[in-house]
Amino acid sequence: MRCLLDTHAFLWWIADDNRLSARARSVLSAGTNEVLFSAASAWEIAIMVGLGKAEVPTPFPEFLTSQLRVNAFEVLPVHLRHASAVAALPPHHGDPFDRMLVAQATQEGLTLVSGDAQIARYDVAVIW
C-alpha cells in the first residue's frame, strides 16, 4: 500500500502518542507499505515550531531529516499539479495544509493516514 501521512499522524507516530489509531499504527509499522510525508506537512510543522506551538529536541531541519530517515518515510514534494488540484476540491476543510494533502493523495493515488473527520468527507481513501 502507498500512503500519505497527515501531519498529526506523523507527529503522533514519532511521539508514540496513543491518539494514533491501532490501524494506522499497524500500517506504519508493517514495513511493507510505502509511507510518504508531504513537504506541505514539513512546512506546517515548521510554522508550529516557529510559533512555539510545537517543540522538537534538536534544530528542526536536523530533527525532521532524522525522523524521516529512521522511519524510512519518503518525501513527497508539492508539485504544480497538486497545487492546481486544490482548486477543484469541495470546501469541506478550511485548512490549506489539509486541502493540499487531499489533493496530493488524489493526484498520486495514495491512501491518506488521517483521523480528521473533515478529510474523510473527500473522495479519497483514508485509513484510521
Predicted local distance difference test score (pLDDT) of residue 22: 98
106 Cβ contact partners less than 8 Å away, ≥ 6 residues apart: 85, 122, 123, 124
The model's pTM: 0.95
Predicted local distance difference test score (pLDDT) of residue 9: 98
The ranges assigned to domains in the chain are 2-122
Give 7's pLDDT tier (boundaries 50, 70, 90): very high
Q: What is the pLDDT of residues 45-77, one digit of tens each?
A: 999 999 999 999 999 999 999 999 999 999 999
CATH number corresponding to 2-122: 3.40.50.1010
Q: For residue 18, what is the DSSP state?
A: T
Q: Which three cell numbers stand for residue 125?
A: 481513501
Q: Which three cell numbers stand for residue 67?
A: 525522523
What is the Cα–Cα distance from 60 to 53, expressed in whole angstroms? Answer: 13
**Percent of the chain clearing pLDDT 90 (strictly above):** 100
- Averaged pLDDT, 5-29: 97
